[in-house]
Amino acid sequence: MRECISLHVGQAGAQIGNACWELYCLEHGIQPDGRLTKEKSSQEADNSFSTFFRETHNGKYVPRGIYADLESTVIDEVRNGSYAKLFHPEQLISGKEDAANNYARGHYTIGKELIDLVLERTRKLSEQCTSLQGFLIFHSFGGGTGSGFTSLLMERLSVEYGKKSKLEFAIYPAPRVSTSVVEPYNSILTTHATLEHSDCAFMVDNEAIYDICNNNLLIERPSYTNLNRLIGQVVSSITASLRFDGALNIDLTEFQTNLVPYPRIHFH
């Protein structure tokens, strides 16, 4: 089996993760407690989704994913939310103080304290895989954790996992929809730091997502939940070929072959 490990970093990464795993569960007939629905368990065995879910000894399915944030608010919502039983507690990692929209704090000071724990938990997940094919990394370019900690994490993953593929799903800051004045700086710093470590990056522009919600879906005042669920649909469509049987883009390396003309021009 060619497994993928999802890493959700910072507030944006975690909230997109919530939308994605909720959708994956609905698509694969997995309940919020990790058990299969009656209809799904009565069907003949189809284990194509085990690229994203691991089956435990007692028949539950656990996502092959990790949530990491330098402060605990967003991850506490996952711990106490409706999908709390889906994740193993070790997969939800949070620190004590956030990066305060500061790349340097996420990469050099606060991030340094958490990186070894995240890599240790990632190692445990990778050891449960028969043939790990790579990582899907969800983060924002504008936040301190999403930019600083992600670039540190990707550097370390390159060292420890060598040629394993790394796909990014990144929220790029938009000038009209800005939460912080330093977003452009964080974006430049993380783009520079991750350029050599990312194999393929799918960029999502908040402003464009807002426009789709307004114009196409006729949502007057879109909330972050609306945005994240729309992004979840996109991620689900991109990863469908990894989770279901098919002929195209079965492998993460195939995404590179089909989408990336030159290694450094890997943004979509």
Q: Catalytic residue positions?
A: 254
Main-chain phi, psi angles of 66, to 5 degrees? -135, 135
Are the beta carbons of 266 and 163 closer than 8 angstroms? no
Question: What does the alpha-carbon distance between residue 261 and residue 95 come to, in Å, rounded to a whole number?
Answer: 39
Q: If you search the block for the tokens 């452009």, which residue do you land on?
A: 184
Coil vs helix vs strand at 68? strand
Question: What does the alpha-carbon distance between residue 255 and residue 231 come to, in Å, rounded to a whole number?
Answer: 19
Are the beta carbons of 71 and 98 closer than 8 angstroms? yes
Coil vs helix vs strand at 14? helix
In 60-114, DSSP assigns E strands to 61-63, 65-69, 92-94
Coil vs helix vs strand at 150? helix
Question: What does the alpha-carbon distance between residue 160 and residue 140 come to, in Å, rounded to a whole number?
Answer: 23
Question: What count of other Cβ atoms lies within 10 Å of the Cβ of residue 249?
Answer: 17
The residues pairing with 53 across neighbouring beta strands, listed in sequence order, are 63
Tokens at residue 261, please? 């003309």
- CA-based R_g, the chain, Å: 18
